[in-house]
Chain A
Amino acid sequence: MRTARLLALGWLFHFKMLTRSAFDGLLGVLYPLFFATVAFFMFRAGHDSRSLLYASLGAAVMGVWSSTSTSAGAAMQRERWHGTLELLVASPTHFSLVLIPATIAQTSIGLYSMAATLFWGRVLFGIGVSIVHPAVFVLSVAATVLSIGTAGFLLAVSFVRYRAAWALGNMLEYPVWLVAGFLVPLSLFPGWVRPISWILAPTWGMNAIRESALGGTPWPDVGMCLLLGAAYTLTGVLMLDRVLRAARRRAALSLT
């Protein structure tokens, strides 16, 4: 019960902070819209305008990944800048319970972007998305946000010794947009790309959202999405223990 309360309050606290940040809040919504606009124009001018519906859903989920890759990777670095990292690590609560709600809050900001992109596509490009399975769609979105949030947690832990974590997070924005099948079907890529996309939760989340919206069988994708999210969390917790132990031994947590 205490853990659930900590996770919920941690998420709420970080979510409220992020909504008041021009960079994470406003830009988090605006930035993916530019890419969505370009994609809408390209598909509309292209040979197959039916792809617009495919692009609309893909562009909507792009923002969820953007919010995570650009900011969640630097979640620990941000605590370091605020001077709160040592205090949080020293607290009796396991540090992962502090970090996970922070990265899921980053991902949740992407929901604004998702709604804005669908609205943008509808109003400016006339792309109407009728959801075939609304309840499963909501579940698919929730599973996608959770699993991408845990991917953000894994990134944050992986980059703990890296001062410029934000730069590495930024770098991962385009590759995941590309290989997770947001705007391009995986069949267009060389065969070696597919195994990479299979270990990425956004790939399965995107499939689940498309299948539930357009009418298909989203459950296997939702299951894979949650399974990968659990794997990211477990890996992140194990890595975090190791990283913090090493940082304590060398007194190097602050990187000063």
Chain B
Amino acid sequence: MSSLRIFFVGGLTSYRALFGFLTPWVYVPSLLVAPIFQILLFVYIGRNAGLESDEFYVVGNALQFASIPCLFAMTQAIAGERYQQTLGYILVSPAPRLPLFVGRALPVIGNGAVVSAFSLAVSGAILGIHVPTSSLPTLTLVIIVTTASCTGLGLINAGLGLRIRETAVLSNVIFGVLLVFSGANVPLRALPHWMRVISDVLPLTHGIQAARRVADGASFADVGRLTAPRR
């Protein structure tokens, strides 16, 4: 019971404590406007290069940008505590570690999904991308699974934050690696073999592939393999 309380209440409280992050003055420019322009940037580069359709970049970048809130908010679970000088108290408390830190991941996944869905809807409307209404529930599920995987990366980053001071730099570097390797903008066939090997182990790559197929009308049964945990 205590673990459940730590998981839900502790997670929500810690997320609400990200004052600097959740204020509209930061949230709107960083998480609602920036992804739209990232999408437009790659759509126009794609048109200039004559590579893929607009939909390819809209779906790819809407999901890839979700890594920003997931990585940064999750990493703050450690870095923020250190900044507030409460990390020591948290670590010596008898609260079980798993619900303590994983509980903080739940609101982050929800926020990442909202950012991704908003970017997809707005940029889709601007560029005239049509997604079948029947695909929306499956697309939502794929977005949630993908943001959960990005939050997992954020948890790893948070763990590294116990040893590394510059977690913001590390989060940005991971974001850059995902941009290059996830296939959000470069079709995987255009990457060298060694890069495709790395792409293949990134959950985001499979999430983006699944979302593209769902946007084209595929059912969950068609893409379930792409979003399921891998052995």
Chain B residues, CB < 8 A from A35: 176, 179
CB atoms of B187 and A167 under 8 A apart: no
Whether B190 lies near A34 (C-beta < 8 A) is no
Given contacts A31-B172, A185-B48, A188-B47, whether A178 and B186 have CB atoms under 8 Å apart is no
Asked if B48 contacts A171 (CB within 8 A), the reply is: no
Whether the pair B186, A42 counts as a contact (CB closer than 8 A) is yes
Residue A47, interface by CB 8 Å: yes
Per a CB cutoff under 8 Å, which of B29, B37, B173, B191 touches A41?
A: B191
Nearest residue, chain B, Cβ from A33: B176
* Chain B residues in 8 Å Cβ range of A167: 25-26, 29-30
Q: A38-B185, A178-B37 are in contact. Are A45 and B190 (CB under 8 A)?
A: yes
Task: Check A38/B179 contact, CB under 8 A, given A23-B166, A171-B29.
Answer: yes
B169 adjacent to chain A (CB < 8 Å) = yes
**Is residue A93 within 8 Å, beta carbon to beta carbon, of the partner chain?**
no
Contact B48 A51 (CB under 8 A): yes
Taking the complex as formed, is B34 at the interface, i.e. its CB lies under 8 A from any CB of chain A?
yes
C-alpha gap A6/B172 in the complex (Å): 34
With A31-B176, A167-B25 as known contacts, state yes or no: A174 contacts B38, CB within 8 Å.
yes
- Docked-complex contact B33 and A45, CB < 8 angstroms: no
A175 near B37: Cβ-Cβ < 8 Å:
yes
Asked whether, in the complex, the Cβ of B166 is within 8 Å of the Cβ of A177, the reply is: no
Contacts of A47 in B (CB 8 A): 49-51
Closest Cβ–Cβ distance, residue B132 to chain A (whole Å): 28
Is B41 at the interface (CB under 8 A from chain A)?
yes
Q: Mark B17-45, 1 if CB is under 8 A from A, else 0.
A: 00010010110011001100110111011
A26 to B20, CA, bound (A): 24
Q: How many residues of A contact B (CB 8 A)?
A: 38
In the complex, A171 Cα to B46 Cα: how many Å?
21
A27→B169 contact, CB < 8 A? yes
Contact B48 A183 (CB under 8 A): yes
| Pair A45/B41 contact, Cβ less than 8 Å | no
Tell which of A27, A47, A51, A177 has the most Cβ of chain B within 10 Å: A27
Nearest CB of chain A from residue B43's CB, rounded to whole Å: 10
B34 nearest CB neighbor, chain A only:
A171
Known: A31-B176, A41-B190, A167-B26. A48 touches B49 (CB 8 A): yes
A42 to B37 CA separation, bound complex (whole angstroms): 18
Q: Shortest Cβ distance from B33 into chain A, in angstroms?
A: 5
Is B49 within 8 A of A42, CB to CB?
A: yes
Q: A37 to B191, alpha carbons, bound, how many Å?
A: 11
Residues of B within 8 A of A173 (CB): 34
B49 touches A43 (CB 8 A): yes
Q: Please name all residues of chain B whose beta carbon is closer than 8 Å to the beta carbon of A27 when the two chains form the complex.
A: 169, 172-173
A23 contacts B191, C-beta separation under 8 Å:
no
Taking the complex as formed, is A168 at the interface, i.e. its CB lies under 8 A from any CB of chain B? yes
Nearest Cβ distance between residue A146 and chain B, in whole angstroms? 25
Residue of B nearest to A171 (CB): B29
**A174 CA to B47 CA, complexed, in Å:** 17
- B34, B46, B187: most-surrounded residue (chain A CB, <10 A): B34
Chain B CB within 10 Å, residue with most, of A31, A42, A43, A44: A42
Closest to A183 in B: B45
Chain A residue at minimal CB-CB distance from B45: A183
Minimal beta-carbon separation of B30 from chain A (angstroms) = 5
A115 within 8 A of B: no
Contact A34 B50 (CB under 8 A): no
Q: How far is the CA of A37 from the CA of B185 in the complex (A)?
A: 11
- Taking CB atoms, residues of chain A closer than 8 Å to B180 are 34, 37-38, 41
- The closest CB in chain A to the CB of B20 belongs to A164
Nearest 7 CB-CB pairs, A to B? A46-B49, A34-B176, A174-B37, A171-B29, A45-B190, A47-B50, A41-B186
6 A-B pairs besides A23-B166, A184-B45 with CB distance below 8 A are: A38-B42, A41-B186, A42-B42, A178-B37, A184-B48, A185-B48
Interface residues of A (CB under 8 A from B): 22-23, 26-27, 30-31, 33-35, 37-39, 41-48, 51, 162-164, 167-168, 170-171, 173-175, 177-178, 183-185, 188-189
